[in-house]
Structure 1
Amino acid sequence: MLVRLMYASRATAAFSEADLALILKTSREHNPAEGITGLLCYSDGIFVQVLEGGREAVNARYKHIVLDKRHRDVVLLGYEEIVERGFPGWNMGQVNLHRLNPALVLKYSETGRLDPYAMSGGAMAALFREMCASGAIAVS
């Protein structure tokens, strides 16, 4: 059974581009064996991630994230059973914030700043769908 999980968390320490690149590299190396696909966004000390895959694999990864000392204030934004993946070809895509239109964020948020703690899970999911459609995702 496939599921989609979306969460937000705050970084416990500042993350450099190199730190983020290492997380993405590790995800892209390990996710195929676990059948996990998804999308990661990091901005202003906040992570938002969508994970898709089998229920056990996604739940185990989320538990690992919740216990990871690099994250705090982890909040579940959405969890659902799905018929098909939204990101089937992405071991882990990354939101390219340089290509993100601030008006797109403002469409779903109180301000033009990406803050999942002030948005509903449904609004975050809709924003992620539009980011994918607009080409604001970097995949490697």
Structure 2
Amino acid sequence: MNTLALNIVTPNGSVYSTEQAELVVLQTEGGEMGIMAGHIPTVAPLKIGAVRVTVDKKVHYIAVTEGFAEIRATGVTVLVQAAEQSDAINIDRAQESLRRAQERLEHDKKEGVDYHRAERALHRAINRLDVAKYR
């Protein structure tokens, strides 16, 4: 089977890298996108979600924030602010982030302060907890 390279990069460096991806599934602003070797060149905006990567018939999950994916016939580069592999997610920390985000949302409703920011924090926390299920 043809494979492609995948590199998930944050401002702090590479979080996940492989040369043997059989399938990469991204959560784009336009919907879910599956990429295999030979895909047409594309740049896609990403939303908060999971990147699913199949390597040797095993699926790996990486939680990512918003960003962009550069897709080429031989590889995919994902550029995001933050990313965590499922087995590296600290569940207690993610649950605490979820609790804080929910509190901020309630406070922001009453105060009318930065609702969008609190909502994004809530989505990031929920995404991390969802991806952590695939340890």
TM bin, normalised by shorter chain, reads: under 0.3
Tell me the TM-score normalised to structure 2 length. Answer: 0.27
Larger % of helix: which?
1
Q: Which has the larger radius of gyration?
A: 2
Tell me the TM-score normalised to structure 1 length. Answer: 0.26
Larger % of strand: which?
2
